[in-house]
Each structure stands twice: as structure tokens, then as C-alpha cells.
């Protein structure tokens, strides 16, 4: 048996089915979308090879692409800036033996299990300018002058979406950090307390270093999910008003499937793919160097 | 031994793959074969064979009072009763934009339903060119009783190379609807000129009434006032060149000038405060609840608006602009809408044709007319007394149209049409007018440079 498993052909035989399915599902479409980015095609007419025309249009004329790029980065940075510290402190508080911590833990984690579409629809109504919870609340407490059409105003729409996403996923990262906190040996914390370390010192010098691997994981998860974010945007604003919340994925969707510009949509998806790959490589580099330092 | 096993396994896998691909091909081939086979049979009366047909359309199924949805539901129900052998599987999508995306994508994947609602002109043409739509001439010619109901003048936007590919179920015109009660309350009369219009806007604005409802979140909504302004300023010439003949000349100064006029309208406070984030449905609700006095929109709202506003509902054509070439007396934005077409890939064309004929039967068209729809069919014995007054007025106005302009996004097709709509959306949201049309020009050059 052992000899059988050492044989290269046998190994190949075992991985072949999975490899074939995997390559049909993942790398092949990716490669073909690079090919489609070089054509002008509405999915129905005959395909017309246009070389790099799609890309030159993308970089020279498509200001929506630049708006989407900017929004994607704002979305990415703010998601991390909001969710990471919030999840971190929630995890610390709920790891303590406080009353009702199970209840709060479940409540905070619950939105993660909801469908993104349902959450987005709910927040769409929360932000609604006429019947929305936010405006009704502001009016009720006498702050009626702050009433605003949150999703309809280009200056607030993107932030409104980011808050909705943070609300949904903060529980997810909290659970990751709580798992990390539970691995911290109790005697270290005990010893620190004996030496007179305060709450803040314990967090800063014991919990934070222990949680660094978890923080890295959740940063990578947040980065990749932000880069390809689509559902929340599509449901709440459809990229509007006037592209104020347009992200790369929603721009790609509109081009490829609403305008049937499949070639151009593929060019956008190629750009998005390049961005995702470079972000992942960059983050990996960054974090690996940290490991050496530590 | 081991090597043999490997060879056998690999060849099994390969065979599976080949079989899968081959199966797909065969399926595609045979479906078109049976298609042409059925065509020959189609003349031989309705079949007794059992058939299931998929039927897709767009209607507001969320609103139980939506009479159009009810009309289609009733039609299907009655059709099922009369044809127990045919099972209709309807799919309804309430948002027209999403419906357009869905039907186009499915059409591209060659998964179109047997019979479906479609738009006309530029949005139908690519499907026709790709041979995805079944021409209806044979079915029409084979049945004189059916043929005499169709008005040939109303089939122009769905006829390509002499063949008819879809039948319209509605005439639509884009005019300004207004609330007569609100106009009376502030002692206003229907605006004849641009200055009148500005005065009306100011009066409403000063009294806290929204002058025009507008849901600019749906990009096409803002294109309607743009087209109105464009025609009154420059008449139909540039529309013919750029929109119908698809010559990329968006850099013509006329387009920018009309855009600036639209901005003038916006700056005068014609639209609700947050109109960029309002959907078309929300704008309609605003008009229904009398928060807005006017609504520049298509006649597809008539049935519902008449139910909500009754005698208060009136309409006028967008006013003249002094010095402009267009005229509100002659030029209307008119379209043939809500076409029904049959897929070439359908295996049950006969049954689909039966349903199509049923949709366009005397009884169903009469019911359609009586609920207030402007019907494109003729020789329909409907009860005139049941028809809302506004529909009769609209019918009269449309019979006097001299120059009709199809809403641009239709003949421009799905890509440039949407790009044009987004251009007007951007202008209304504050983007530079010149830059916006420069961009539209660049896109059009890229796509039309064939």
C-alpha cells in the first residue's frame, strides 16, 4: 500500500478528478475572461477582436472606473478601520465573565448568519428618508434638522453602506478574536496581575501580541471581501446616486450584464483580478516580514 | 496492472467529458430541428398534444391593485381553461430594468422562455439578427381573423427585413401628467411656453408642493425631460442622425445645450429634494399622493394614476421653448411597448402561438382597452363607456401626432441606450454637461466603429 502511494502515477490518478473539476471551475474561466477582455461582444452578435481597445478606454475615458476604484479603497480601509477595533474590544469585553455575555455574543454574531440581501434590504429601509428608522429617531429626539436622505445623497451613501456591512460582519471577526483570547494561558494573565499590571497593560502587552495572527487573518478576509463586495451595494444603491457608491464589482456587473458589453466587462474583471492578486501578495509580504521581526 | 488501471480510469474520465460536451451540442441541434419541424405543422390547427410553455413578463405583482398584472393573470387563467392541454408557467418580474437584464442574458445563453415580453427597435434587433426570435408572419397570415386585429402601422418598430418579430400590446407616449386640483388651487393654467413652466415651478415650490415628481435613481427617468427639452429646442433632425442612424455625433453642441437647459430646470427646483436617490416607484407614489403636481412620464402610469386620482388627472405635452425648432403641437415621444415575442428555440411554438393569439384576441384586447390601456390593435369591440376619460383624450392627442420620436434608449439599444440614460442621470446629479457628452461620444465611437 505504501509503495502504491509513493508511485507518482497513482498520486496523479487520485488528484486528477479534483484537479480537472477545479481547473474547469476556477483557473479556466479566469483565463478565458482575460481573453474576452480583448473583444467587443454583446453576447449575441459575432465577436469582434479589438486588441487592447477595452483597456485603453478603461484607463483613458472611464471615469466611473476611477470613481469605483476610489470607492473600493475607501470601502476597504473604512471597513478595516471600523470592524477591526470594534471586534477587538467586543471580544475582550465578552471574554470576561460578565453577566449576559452569552446573550450578547449571540446577538452580535447573529447578523453574520443572515443573507447579505436581507440585511441590505433591512438597512435600505432603516436609511429610508420618509419611513426610515434613523430619520424617525432623529425627529423623535428633537434632532429633526439632522434628517437626511442617507442613501440618496452622494456624500453619505457610501458611508451608510459601510456601516451596514460593519454591523453585519463585526460579529464574525469578534468570534475569531475570542477564539484567540481563549488560547491565552490563564497563568500569564495571572502573573501579570500579580506584578501589578492594569487592565490596559494586559490588553496591550499580552492580549494584543497573542492576537496578532488572528488580526492578520481577519485583515486578509476583510480585504478580499471588500474588494469583491457587490450584494450590499447592489441592493441598497445600485452604485448610485451618480456612481457615488459604485465599486469595481458593481461597475463590472452593469457593463457586462445590464449593458451587454461583455468584452468591456471582462476587461474590468481582469483589472479587478489583478488588483485582488496584488493585494493578497502585498499583504502576504507585509505579514511575513512581521513574522521574522517577532 | 497498475498502468492499465490508470489508462482505463483516464479514458473513462475523458469519455465522460466528451459525452457531456457532445450531449450539449446534440441538444442544441435537435431543438432547432424540431423548431423548423413545428413551423410546418403550425398551420394545422392547435395540437392536442400536451405542452408546457414558459411565459415571462414584467408587471407590478407586488401591488394587488395593479390592473395590468391582473389582466395578464386573467388572460393566463382563461387561456388555461380553454386549452387544458397546454400548461403555462408564468414568471413575473416587477422591475423593468431587471427584467431587461434577465431576458437579455437568458437570450444570450439561448435559454429564452417560449413566449416573453420584449422591448422593440434597438433592444429587439440584436436578438432578431442572431436568429433567436421566431418570425410571426406565417402565423399571422394563416389566420385572417387574427390578422385583421393588428394595425400594420403599429408593427414598424418590431419589423426587420419585412418580417414581424413581436406584437406590441401598448401604445405609450411620454407626456407631462398633472394634478388638476393642485393647478386650480394655485390658480395656474397649463404652461404653454418655457417661461410659463418656470412660473408654474416657482409657484409650486413657494407653496411647498413638489413641481415635478422624478425618480432619478432609475437612470432612464431623467432622460424623459431631457428628450422633451431636446425636441423643443432642435426638433427631430439630430435624433434621426444620432439615435436612429447611430452616427456618433454626441459632440454636436445641441446635445450640450439641451443638457444645460435640463440643469436650468433642476436649478429652478423642479424636482424633489432627494430626487437622485428616489426610485421611479417612489416618484409615482409622490404623484399619486398629491405631493407632486406634475410627472413627466410615460402613459403606462395612466391606469393606476386614473384609479388613484380620477378626475384630477390631466396631461399636456411638454411646453415650447421660444426660438426652438420643435413644437408641442406636432412632436410627441411615442413608442410601441410591451411587445410579445416567441423564441426560435422554443419546442412548443404551436402552443406559444396559441397563447400569443389569445393575448391579442378580441376579448382580451377589449378588456385591455377597458382598463385604460392605449391599445395598438384595431377592430376591437370594446365598451367605450368603460374607458377612462383620460385614455380617450390621450388617444385623440396621439392620432394628431405629426413627428413621433421613439424614446432614445430603445433604438439606441441596450448598451448605448443605457449609457445615454446614465449621461442624463449624471447631468442631473451635477456632473459637467460637456464632459458627460464627451464621454458618451467616446463610448459610442468605440461601440459603433464597425
Subunit contact B414:A260, Cβ cutoff 8 A: yes
Q: How confident is the model at residue B30 (pLDDT cuts 50, 70, 90)?
A: very low
Contacts of B447 in chain A (CB under 8 A): 40, 261
Facing residue for A129 by CB, picked from B9, B108, B274: B274
Subunit contact A259:B13, Cβ cutoff 8 A: no
Cα–Cα distances (Å) from B14 to A21, B10, B19, B270, in that order, read 12, 6, 8, 66
Nearest residue in chain B measured CA to CA from A18: B13
Q: Can you tell me the distance from the alpha carbon of B91 to that of B98, in angstroms, rounded to the nearest whole number?
A: 13
Question: Percentage of chain B with pLDDT > 70?
Answer: 89
Subunit contact A13:B6, Cβ cutoff 8 A: yes
Cβ of residue B131 closer than 8 Å to a chain A Cβ: no
Q: Which of residues 211-230 of B touch A (CB under 8 A)?
A: 216-217
Q: What is the pLDDT of residue B414?
A: 83
Q: Can you tell me the distance from the alpha carbon of B385 to that of B370, in angstroms, rounded to the nearest whole number?
A: 9
Domains in chain A, number: 1
Which value does ipTM take for this structure? Answer: 0.71
Q: Can you tell me the distance from the alpha carbon of B14 to that of B19, in angstroms, rounded to the nearest whole number?
A: 8
User: Is residue A226 domain-resident?
Assistant: yes
Q: What is the pLDDT of residue A207?
A: 87
User: Is residue A138 domain-resident?
Assistant: yes
Cα–Cα distances (Å) from B277 to A75, A239, B426, B429, in that order, read 20, 11, 12, 10
**Strand, helix or coil at B53?**
strand
Its sign, for the CA torsion A131, B263, A261, B159, is: positive
Nearest residue in chain B measured CA to CA from A9: B6
User: Is residue A272 domain-resident?
Assistant: no
Closest C-alpha to A169, from A111, A247, A104, A101: A111
Contacts of A9 in chain B (CB under 8 A): 2-3, 6
Subunit contact A53:B418, Cβ cutoff 8 A: no
What value does the mean pLDDT take over residues B84-109? 88
Q: How near does any CA of chain B get to the CA of A93, in Å?
A: 39
Predicted confidence (pLDDT) per residue in B261-280, tens digit: 999 999 999 999 888 878 88
Predicted TM-score (pTM) above 0.90? no
Q: What is the pLDDT of residue B63?
A: 75
Query: Which parts of B124-252 fold into alpha helices (H)?
Result: 125-129, 137-141, 144-147, 180-185, 194-206, 223-234, 237-238
Interface test with B, best of A58, A234, A244, A260 (most B CBs within 10 A): A260
Residues in CB range of A97: below 8 A, 6 or more apart: none
Q: How confident is the model at residue B5 (pLDDT cuts 50, 70, 90)?
A: low
User: Is residue A59 domain-resident?
Assistant: no
pLDDT of residue B23 exceeding 50: no
The CA radius of gyration of chain A, in Å to the nearest whole number, is 24
Facing residue for A152 by CB, picked from B107, B276, B439: B276
Contacts of A149 in chain B (CB under 8 A): 273-274, 277
Interface test with A, best of B251, B277, B344, B414 (most A CBs within 10 A): B277
Nearest residue in chain A measured CA to CA from B429: A242
Establish, for the pair of chains A and B, how many residue pairs have beta carbons separated by less than 8 Å.
Answer: 102
Subunit contact A242:B101, Cβ cutoff 8 A: no
Average pLDDT, chain B: 85
Q: What is the pLDDT of residue B48?
A: 60
Contact A130, B285 (CB under 8 A): no
Q: Domain of A109?
A: 74-246
Q: What is the pLDDT of residue B62?
A: 79
Strands (E), B329-418: 331-342, 403-405
Q: How confident is the model at residue B7 (pLDDT cuts 50, 70, 90)?
A: low
Pairing, β B51-57 against β B115-118:
parallel
Cα within 13 Å of Cα(B235), Cβ side: 10
Interface test with B, best of A37, A241, A253, A266 (most B CBs within 10 A): A241
Q: How near does any CA of chain B get to the CA of A279, in Å?
A: 30
User: Is residue A30 domain-resident?
Assistant: no
Whether cis (ω within 30° of 0) applies to the bond prior to A241 is: yes
Subunit contact B274:A257, Cβ cutoff 8 A: no
pLDDT of residue B180 exceeding 50: yes
Q: Which residues of chain A have pLDDT under 50?
A: 292-294
Domain CATH for A221: 1.10.3720.10
Which of A248-257, B72-81, B381-390 is predicted with the least confidence, judged by mean pLDDT?
B381-390
pLDDT of residue B45 exceeding 80: no
- CA B424-B429-B431 angle, to 5 degrees, is 80
Closest C-alpha to B396, from B114, B77, B173, B99: B173
Is domain B172-335+396-448 in CATH 1.10.10.10, yes or no?
A: no
Contacts of B13 in chain A (CB under 8 A): 16-17, 20
Facing residue for A259 by CB, picked from B2, B109, B415: B415
- CA A142-A146-A151 angle, to 5 degrees, is 135
Facing residue for B274 by CB, picked from A48, A63, A152: A152
Cα within 13 Å of Cα(A50), Cβ side: 27
- Within 10 angstroms of residue B238's Cβ, the number of other Cβ atoms is 20
Cβ of residue B291 closer than 8 Å to a chain A Cβ: no
Task: Write out the DSSP string of A191-228.
Answer: HHHHTT--HHHHIIIIIHHHHHHHHHHHHHHHHHHHHT
What value does the mean pLDDT take over residues B77-82? 93
Q: In terms of residues, how long is chain A?
A: 294
Domain map of chain B by residue range? 49-169+337-389, 172-335+396-448
Greater model confidence, B65 or A130: A130
Contact A273, A46 (CB under 8 A): no
Q: Can you tell me the distance from the alpha carbon of B330 to that of B65, in angstroms, rounded to the nearest whole number?
A: 35
Q: Can you tell me the distance from the alpha carbon of A167 to that of A159, in angstroms, rounded to the nearest whole number?
A: 12
Q: How confident is the model at residue B41 (pLDDT cuts 50, 70, 90)?
A: very low
User: Is residue A129 domain-resident?
Assistant: yes
User: Is residue A169 domain-resident?
Assistant: yes
Contact B316, B175 (CB under 8 A): yes
Give the residue numbers in A contacting B (CB under 8 Å), as ranges: 4, 7, 9-10, 12-13, 16-17, 20, 40, 42-45, 48, 53, 57, 61, 63, 129, 149, 151-154, 157, 237-238, 240-243, 254, 257-261
Q: Can you tell me the distance from the alpha carbon of A195 to that of A184, in angstroms, rounded to the nearest whole number?
A: 18
B52 DSSP β-pair partners? B87
Q: May I ask the CATH class of domain B49-169+337-389? A: alpha beta
Residues in CB range of B443: below 8 A, 6 or more apart: A57, A61, B415, B416, B419
Amino acid at each position: 500500500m505504501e509503495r502504491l502511494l509513493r508511485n507518482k502515477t497513482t498520486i496523479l490518478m487520485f488528484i486528477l478528478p479534483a484537479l480537472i473539476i477545479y481547473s474547469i471551475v476556477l483557473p479556466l474561466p479566469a483565463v478565458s475572461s482575460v481573453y474576452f477582455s480583448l473583444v467587443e461582444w454583446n453576447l449575441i452578435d459575432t465577436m469582434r477582436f479589438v486588441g487592447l481597445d477595452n483597456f485603453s478606454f478603461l484607463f483613458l475615458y472611464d471615469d466611473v472606473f476611477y470613481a469605483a476604484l476610489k470607492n473600493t479603497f475607501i470601502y476597504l480601509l473604512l471597513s478595516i478601520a471600523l470592524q477591526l477595533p470594534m471586534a477587538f474590544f467586543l471580544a475582550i469585553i465578552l471574554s470576561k465573565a460578565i453577566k449576559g455575555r452569552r446573550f450578547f455574543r449571540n446577538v452580535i454574531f447573529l447578523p453574520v448568519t443572515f443573507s447579505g440581501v436581507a440585511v441590505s434590504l433591512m438597512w435600505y429601509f432603516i436609511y429610508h428618508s420618509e419611513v426610515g428608522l434613523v430619520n424617525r429617531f432623529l425627529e423623535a429626539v428633537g434632532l429633526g434638522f439632522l434628517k437626511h436622505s442617507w442613501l440618496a445623497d452622494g456624500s453619505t451613501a457610501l458611508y451608510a453602506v459601510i456601516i451596514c456591512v460593519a454591523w453585519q460582519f463585526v460579529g464574525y471577526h469578534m468570534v475569531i478574536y475570542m477564539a484567540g483570547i481563549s488560547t491565552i494561558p490563564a497563568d500569564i494573565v495571572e502573573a501579570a496581575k500579580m506584578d501589578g499590571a492594569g487592565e490596559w497593560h494586559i490588553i496591550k502587552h499580552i492580549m494584543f501580541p497573542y492576537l496578532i495572527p488572528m488580526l492578520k487573518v481577519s485583515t486578509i478576509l476583510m480585504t478580499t471581501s471588500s474588494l469583491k463586495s457587490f450584494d450590499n451595494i447592489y441592493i441598497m444603491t445600485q452604485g448610485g446616486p451618480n456612481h457615488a457608491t459604485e465599486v469595481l464589482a458593481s461597475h463590472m456587473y452593469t457593463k457586462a450584464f445590464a449593458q451587454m458589453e461583455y468584452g468591456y466587462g471582462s476587461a474590468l474583471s481582469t483589472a479587478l483580478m489583478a488588483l485582488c492578486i496584488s493585494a493578497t501578495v502585498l499583504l502576504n509580504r507585509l505579514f511575513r516580514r512581521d513574522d521574522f521581526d517577532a | 496492472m497498475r498502468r492499465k488501471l490508470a489508462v482505463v480510469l483516464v479514458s473513462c474520465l475523458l469519455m465522460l467529458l466528451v459525452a457531456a460536451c457532445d450531449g450539449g451540442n446534440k441538444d442544441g441541434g435537435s431543438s432547432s430541428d424540431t423548431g423548423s419541424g413545428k413551423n410546418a405543422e403550425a398551420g394545422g390547427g392547435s395540437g392536442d398534444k400536451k405542452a408546457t410553455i414558459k411565459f415571462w413578463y414584467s408587471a407590478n405583482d407586488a401591488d394587488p391593485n395593479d390592473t395590468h398584472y391582473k389582466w395578464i393573470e386573467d388572460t393566463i387563467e382563461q387561456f388555461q381553461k380553454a386549452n387544458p392541454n397546454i400548461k403555462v408557467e408564468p414568471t413575473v418580474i416587477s422591475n423593468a430594468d431587471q427584467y431587461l437584464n434577465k431576458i437579455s442574458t437568458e437570450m444570450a445563453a439561448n435559454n429564452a422562455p417560449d413566449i416573453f415580453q420584449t422591448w422593440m427597435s434597438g433592444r429587439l434587433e440584436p436578438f432578431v439578427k442572431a436568429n433567436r426570435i421566431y418570425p410571426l408572419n406565417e402565423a399571422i397570415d394563416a389566420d385572417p381573423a387574427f390578422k385583421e386585429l393588428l394595425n400594420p402601422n403599429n408593427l414598424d418598430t418590431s419589423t426587420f427585413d419585412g418580417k414581424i418579430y413581436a406584437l406590441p400590446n401598448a401604445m405609450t407616449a411620454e407626456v407631462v401628467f398633472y394634478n388638476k386640483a393642485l393647478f386650480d388651487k394655485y390658480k395656474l393654467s397649463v404652461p404653454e411656453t418655457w417661461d410659463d413652466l418656470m412660473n408654474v415651478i416657482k409657484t409650486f415650490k413657494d407653496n411647498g408642493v413638489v413641481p415635478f415628481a422624478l425618480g432619478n435613481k432609475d437612470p432612464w427617468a431623467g432622460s424623459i425631460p431631457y428628450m422633451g427639452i431636446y425636441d423643443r429646442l432642435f426638433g427631430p433632425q439630430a435624433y434621426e442622425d444620432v439615435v436612429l442612424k447611430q452616427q456618433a455625433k454626441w459632440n454636436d453642441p445641441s446635445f450640450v445645450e439641451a443638457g444645460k437647459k435640463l440643469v436650468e430646470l433642476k436649478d429652478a427646483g423642479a424636482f424633489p429634494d432627494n430626487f437622485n436617490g428616489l426610485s421611479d416607484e417612489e416618484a409615482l407614489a409622490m404623484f399619486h399622493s398629491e405631493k407632486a403636481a406634475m410627472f413627466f412620464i410615460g402613459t403606462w402610469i395612466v391606469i393606476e394614476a386614473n384609479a388613484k386620482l380620477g378626475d384630477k388627472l390631466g396631461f399636456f405635452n411638454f411646453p415650447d421653448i421660444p426660438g426652438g425648432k420643435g413644437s408641442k403641437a406636432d412632436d410627441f415621444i411615442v413608442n410601441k411597448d410591451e411587445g410579445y415575442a416567441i423564441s426560435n428555440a422554443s419546442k412548443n411554438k404551436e402552443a406559444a402561438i396559441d397563447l400569443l393569439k389569445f393575448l391579442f384576441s378580441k376579448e382580451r384586447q377589449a378588456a385591455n382597452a377597458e382598463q385604460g390601456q392605449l391599445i395598438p390593435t384595431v377592430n376591437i369591440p370594446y365598451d367605450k363607456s368603460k374607458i377612462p376619460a383620460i385614455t380617450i383624450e390621450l388617444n385623440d392627442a396621439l392620432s394628431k401626432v405629426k413627428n413621433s420620436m421613439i424614446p432614445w434608449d430603445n433604438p439606441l439599444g441596450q448598451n448605448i441606450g443605457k449609457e445615454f440614460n446614465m449621461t442624463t442621470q449624471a447631468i442631473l446629479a451635477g456632473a459637467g454637461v460637456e464632459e458627460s457628452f464627451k464621454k458618451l461620444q467616446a463610448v459610442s465611437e468605440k461601440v459603433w466603429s464597425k
